[in-house]
Amino acid sequence: MWQAYLKVLRERAPGTTNILDRFHIKKKFSEALDKVRADETRQLLRDGYEPVVTKSRWCILKKRENLTETQTVRLNELLKYNLRTTKAYLMREDFNRFWTYSSPAWASKFLRDWCTRANRSGIEPMKRMAKMLERHEPLLLNWFDAKGLSSGIVEGFNNKAKLTVRKSYGFKEVETISTALYLQLGDLPEPIRTHKFC
């Protein structure tokens, strides 16, 4: 599907720059990190050890600045252990430096170095992450050409549109659904009516 999307984009909008932005990369990192955590929890239980990574999902997935006090303490405790989860967490945090570069050439060098370290780590989800990043390096570097432009706004509009269509499931007329979309996405004022619906 990914290649099909890129092909259509090249055919229909040849002058555009396709960006693989930070939002999507962070999502993939979170999925990989959560897989490492879940696998390690099961492995510790099988081996008869205390599963120290249980109840730590959100403290390793959330941004550090968004952690509660309890989660911060939990994360600091977790980072003291020599676990695959800890290593994967530190690798993800280290990758955030990629977005701070101003030169695509230096970002590319960092990316390749990071991928080499990930491949040597022996942590399968991180190795898969490295392979994916290597495959899509040109799309990642487009982020620098676009000066950090993100597709987050478009994603937000798409989600809001999907929610509006889902909420108006009883309406069959295209014009009615279209009006509902204009009201939601255009943030238009609702007309005054006799009854208020929740």
Same-domain status, 137 and 177: no
Same-domain status, 40 and 126: yes
Same-domain status, 140 and 51: yes
Q: Which structural domain range is residue 169 located in?
A: 152-185
- Confirm whether 119 is domain-assigned: yes
d(CA 134, CA 189): 47
Same-domain status, 125 and 60: yes
Count of CA atoms in the C-beta half-sphere (13 A) of 56: 25
Whole-model pTM: value is: 0.74
Same-domain status, 115 and 167: no
Same-domain status, 117 and 162: no
Same-domain status, 86 and 170: no
Residue 56 CA: distances (Å) to CA of 33, 49, 59, 140: 11, 16, 5, 30
With CA atoms as reference, report the closest residue to 152 among 12, 2, 25: 25
Same-domain status, 132 and 172: no
Same-domain status, 35 and 97: yes
Residue 112 CA: distances (Å) to CA of 30, 126, 187: 20, 14, 44
- Confirm whether 7 is domain-assigned: no
Same-domain status, 92 and 163: no
Same-domain status, 125 and 158: no
Domains contained in the chain, number: 2
Token pair for 123: 């942590």
- Confirm whether 118 is domain-assigned: yes
Question: Residue 17: which region, alpha, beta or left (left: phi > 0; alpha: psi -120 to 50)?
Answer: beta
Q: Per-residue confidence of the chain (198 residues) as pLDDT tens digits?
A: 467 777 887 888 788 777 777 888 999 999 999 999 999 999 988 888 887 888 888 888 888 888 899 989 988 988 888 899 999 999 999 999 999 998 999 999 999 999 999 999 999 999 999 999 999 999 889 888 877 666 667 677 778 878 877 877 777 777 877 777 777 777 666 666 655 555
